[in-house]
Amino acid sequence: MKLFEHEAKDIFRVSGLPTPPGGLARTPEEAATRAREIGKPVVVKAQVLTGKRGKAGGVKFADTPSDAETAAREILGMRINDMPVDAVIVEEKLDIAQEIYVGITIDRNERKYVLIGSAAGGMSIEELAVEHPEKIIKHHVDPGLGLSGYEARNMAIDMGFRGKQIGPLADFFMKLWSIVQVHDVELTEINPLILTKDGRFLAADARLNIDDNALYRHKKLLEGIKREPVEQNAREREAEQHGMAYVELEGNIACICNGAGLTMATLDVVSLYGGKASTFLDLGGGSDAERVKMGIEIALMYPQVKAVLVNIMGGITRCDEVAKGIVAARKERGIDVPMVIRMVGTNEEEGQRILTEAGISFVRTMEEAASKIVELVKEVA
């Protein structure tokens, strides 16, 4: 989950990571109030879940509260990357000596975290990464050992900092690292981290993405955070309520399988045989007849589905239950779209017997299943 800049900065403040004084405003008047509280020139920034706000005009400077109000009025009316701006932050405008880039993310190939830093941060970091990759410094951090003080100092030195700048920058990394650990952050970026003319390092921007699979550990943090619910259609809602992973695609063949890996592989094989999948539907492990029937029904709610491919690897899931579910769907619900069944594993023979008795044919391999469903769909499409 992506956090807004102001949400990330709230976490930074609590964790002692230096950020400029300021706060959130939802109206131009509130922005003026914030600017008055700060009592210095300010920066007014759009709060949207996308980067490059600066280039889009979503970051403006204001010397007085009334300028801040005007700036906020302009920004609050904008759409950035097609996202409406509902709020701005108003913060003290820092006196920049240098804009620095720092980030921490996960390097899955190395199975480690990676600190990323550059003394040449700011809005052109992407170009820098392409034209001068040597100016971007990376240090891997072993998740088991954590980040040591000396590694943080080495990072600062490799980025080109010397003397009394090393300590504060290393300290910044240590604090950022601890935020990453405590909040299960999979990506954080501070661009720019501003070195002020009076020698302080402050996070002027903040990007923080929390690992979705760890959100259940952060109920307290999430209490104050509201997100517009993702729009779902009836089929997606239904599938989610029953704990099935369901994704709609462009084609006309619904693939109903158990396990995300097998479902992905099935989509691939269908595509290899020249078919186009309409549906990724992972029933999950241990599905019984009722669930299989429901999966087929949900898949068929999608109007463009012309055929159904059921591909099951029986483990905890029993093929006899799968067969019963298919029979129920066809007999009780009168579902008569072309269907190809392939199932192997636990209670395979019993499952095949049930299908045969009901006059439903099945195939033995995934390749056969894919080529047959592609043939069948040609006839009806």
Residue 122, contacted partner among ligand GDP, Mn ion, none, CB below 5-8 A by kind? ligand GDP
Residue 22, contacted partner among ligand GDP, Mn ion, none, CB below 5-8 A by kind? none
Catalytic residue among 30, 69, 91, 189: 189
What residue ranges in 228-288 does DSSP mark as E strands? Answer: 245-248, 253-257, 277-282
DSSP 63-125: SSHHHHHHHHHHHHT-EETTEE---EEEEEPP-EEEEEEEEEEEETTTTEEEEEEESS-STTH
351/253 Cα distance (integer angstroms): 23
For strand 83-84 and strand 79-80, is the pairing parallel, antiparallel, or unpaired? Answer: antiparallel
Clarify whether 189 is annotated catalytic.
yes
| Closer by beta carbon to Mn ion, 205 or else 282 | 205
Among all chains, which residue has been given the structure tokens 């509280």? 37
Smallest gap, in angstroms, from Cβ of residue 352 to Mn ion? 60
Is residue 57 helix, strand or coil? coil
Smallest gap, in angstroms, from Cβ of residue 121 to Mn ion? 8
Out of 117, 192, 314, 325, the residue judged to bind ligand GDP by CB under 6 A: 192
With CB under 6 A as the contact rule, which of the stretches 94-102, 247-255, 281-289, 338-346 interacts with ligand GDP? 94-102
Question: CB–CB of 17/179 below 8 Å?
Answer: yes
Total number of residues binding ligand GDP (CB under 6 A)?
A: 19
Smallest gap, in angstroms, from Cβ of residue 131 to ligand GDP? 18
Clarify whether 101 is annotated catalytic.
yes
Instruction: Note the residues at the interface with Mn ion (CB under 5 A).
Output: 191, 205
Residue facing ligand GDP at closest CB distance: 54
For strand 339-345 and strand 22-25, is the pairing parallel, antiparallel, or unpaired? Answer: unpaired
Residues 34-73 that bind ligand GDP (CB under 6 A): 43, 45, 51-54, 59
| Closer by beta carbon to Mn ion, 100 or else 255 | 100
Catalytic residue among 92, 101, 321, 348: 101
Smallest gap, in angstroms, from Cβ of residue 363 to Mn ion? 54
| Closer by beta carbon to Mn ion, 206 or else 340 | 206
Query: CA 237 → CA 12, 42, 100, 244, 259, distances in Å?
Result: 36, 44, 44, 10, 19
57/289 Cα distance (integer angstroms): 56
What amino acid positions are annotated as catalytic residues?
101, 189
Interface with ligand GDP by CB under 6 A: which residues? 20, 43, 45, 51-54, 59, 91, 93-94, 96, 99, 122-123, 191-192, 204-205
